[in-house]
A and B are shown apart, each in its own frame.
Chain A
Amino acid sequence: MTKNNQDKIDLYKQHKNEYAAAKKPVLIEIKPAVYLAIEGRGEPGGEQFKASIGALYGAAFTIKMTRKFAGQQDYAVCKLEAQWWSDSGPDLSKAPKDQWRWNLLIRTPGFVSEEELRKAAAVLLDRGKGKEVKEVRLESLAEGTCVQMLHVGPYDQECLTIAKMKEFVEKNQLEFHGRHHEIYLSDPRRVPPERLKTLLRCPVRPERGGSERRV
Chain B
Amino acid sequence: MRTATLDDYKQRLLRVLVHIQEHLDESLALEELAGLACFSPFHFHRIFKGMVGESVKEHVRRLRLERAASRLKLGAQPVVRIALDAGYESHEAFTRSFRSVFGVSPSGFRSSNRRPRVAAAPSGLHFTEGRRVGHFKTIQPQGKKMEVKIVQRAPLRVAFMRHVGPYSAVGKTWDRFLPVLGKEGLLGGDTQFIGICHDDPEVTPHGRVRYDACVSVDERFSPLGEIGLQVIAGGEYAMTTHFGPYNKLGRTYTRLLGQWLPRSGRQLRSCPCFEVYLNDPQGTDPKDLLTDIFAPLAARLSIPAR
Q: From A1, A55, A124, give the contact of B185 (CB < 8 A).
A: A124
Residues of A within 8 A of B278 (CB): 187, 189-190
Number of inter-chain CB pairs below 8 Å: 107
Q: B183 is contacted by which of A57, A66, A130 (Cβ under 8 Å)?
A: A66
Residue among A1, A12, A123, A127 with the highest chain B CB neighbour number at 10 A: A1
Cα(A76)–Cα(B243), bound, Å: 21
Per-residue contact bits, chain B 153-189, to A (CB 8 Å; 1 contact, 0 not): 0000000000000000011001100111111111111
* Partner-contacting stretch, out of B18-26, B50-58, B252-260, B279-287: B279-287
**Residues of chain B lying within 8 A (CB to CB) of residue A58:** 185, 187-189
- B280-A76 in contact (CB<8A): yes
Contact check, B181 vs A65: say whether CB atoms are below 8 A apart: yes
SS class, residues of chain B in contact with chain A:
mixed
Inter-chain CA distance A77–B146, complex, in Å, is 32
Min distance, Cβ A121 to any Cβ of chain B, angstroms: 9
Closest residue on chain B to residue A53 by CB atoms: B189
Residues of A within 8 A of B195 (CB): 1
- What is the size category of the interface that chain B forms with chain A? 35 or more
Chain A residue numbers with a CB within 8 Å of B175 are 2, 68
Q: Please report the C-alpha to C-alpha distance between residue A130 and residue B185 in the assembled complex, in whole angstroms.
A: 12
Q: Which residues of A contact B277 (CB under 8 A)?
A: 1
Q: Are A65 and B179 in contact (CB under 8 A)?
A: yes
**Is residue A79 contacting chain B, with contact meaning CB distance below 8 A?**
yes
User: Known contacts A55-B189, A57-B188, A127-B220; is A4 also within 8 Å of B183 by CB?
Assistant: no
Query: Counting CB contacts under 8 A, is B288 at the interface?
Result: yes
Inter-chain contact B182/A2, CB cutoff 8 Å? no
A155: Cβ under 8 A from any B Cβ: no
Instruction: Assess the B184–A127 pair: CB atoms within 8 A.
Output: yes
Nearest B-chain residue to A126, judged by Cβ = B185
B241 at the interface (CB under 8 A from A): yes
Taking the nearest CB of chain A, how far is it from the CB of B256, in angstroms? 16
- Tell me which residues across on chain A come within 8 A of B88, comparing CB atoms: none
With a cutoff of 8 Å between Cβ atoms, the chain B residues found around residue A208 in the complex are none
Chain A residue nearest to B193 (CB atoms) is: A1
**Interface positions of A from 48 to 67, Cβ below 8 Å from B:** 53-58, 61-62, 64-66
User: In this assembly, does B246 line the interface, its C-beta being within 8 Å of a C-beta of chain A?
Assistant: yes
Known: A1-B195, A2-B171. A79 touches B189 (CB 8 A): no
Closest chain-B Cβ to A6's Cβ sits at a distance in Å of 12
- Say whether B290 contacts A64, CB under 8 Å: no
Is B89 an interface residue, CB under 8 A from the partner? Answer: no
A-contacting residues, B249-296, CB 8 Å: 277-283, 288, 290, 292
Selected contact of B188 from candidates A5, A76, A129, A186, CB within 8 Å? A129
Flag if B184 contacts A64 (CB, 8 Å): no
| Residue B218 at the chain A interface, CB threshold 8 Å | yes
Return chain B residues, CB-CB under 8 Å to A57.
188-189
B280 and chain A: residue at smallest CB distance: A77
Report chain B residues within 8 Å CB of A56: 189
Closest A residue by C-beta to B181: A65
- Determine if B290 and A187 form an interchain contact, defined as CB atoms under 8 angstroms apart: yes
Q: Are A123 and B282 in contact (CB under 8 A)?
A: no
- 0/1 per residue, A72-110, Cβ < 8 Å to B? 000011110000000000000000000000000000000
Q: Which A residues touch B7, using CB under 8 A? A: none
CB of B112 to closest CB in A, whole Å: 49
A8 within 8 A of B: yes
Interface status of A209 (Cβ within 8 A of chain B): no
B190 interface hit (Cβ, 8 Å):
yes
Question: Which among B171, B182, B283 is the interface contact of A62 at CB below 8 angstroms?
Answer: B182
Which residues of B (184-235) have their CB < 8 Å from a CB of A? 184-191, 193, 195, 213, 218, 220
What's the Cα separation between A62 and B218 when bound, in Å? 17
Give Cα distance in the complex from A69 to B186, angstroms.
14
Q: Is A128 an interface residue (CB 8 A)?
A: yes
Q: Is the CB of B290 within 8 A of A190?
A: yes
Answer yes or no: A16 CB below 8 A from chain B CBs: no
Contact A4–B188 (Cβ < 8 Å): no
Give chain B residues whose Cβ lies under 8 Å from the Cβ of A185.
288
A-B contacts, 12 of them at CB < 8 A, read: A1-B193, A2-B171, A2-B281, A62-B187, A68-B178, A68-B179, A77-B280, A128-B218, A129-B189, A187-B290, A189-B278, A191-B290
7 shortest interchain CB distances as A-B pairs: A65-B182, A54-B189, A76-B283, A123-B185, A69-B179, A57-B189, A127-B185
Beyond A1-B277, A54-B188, list 4 extra A-B contacts (CB 8 Å). A3-B171, A54-B189, A76-B283, A130-B189
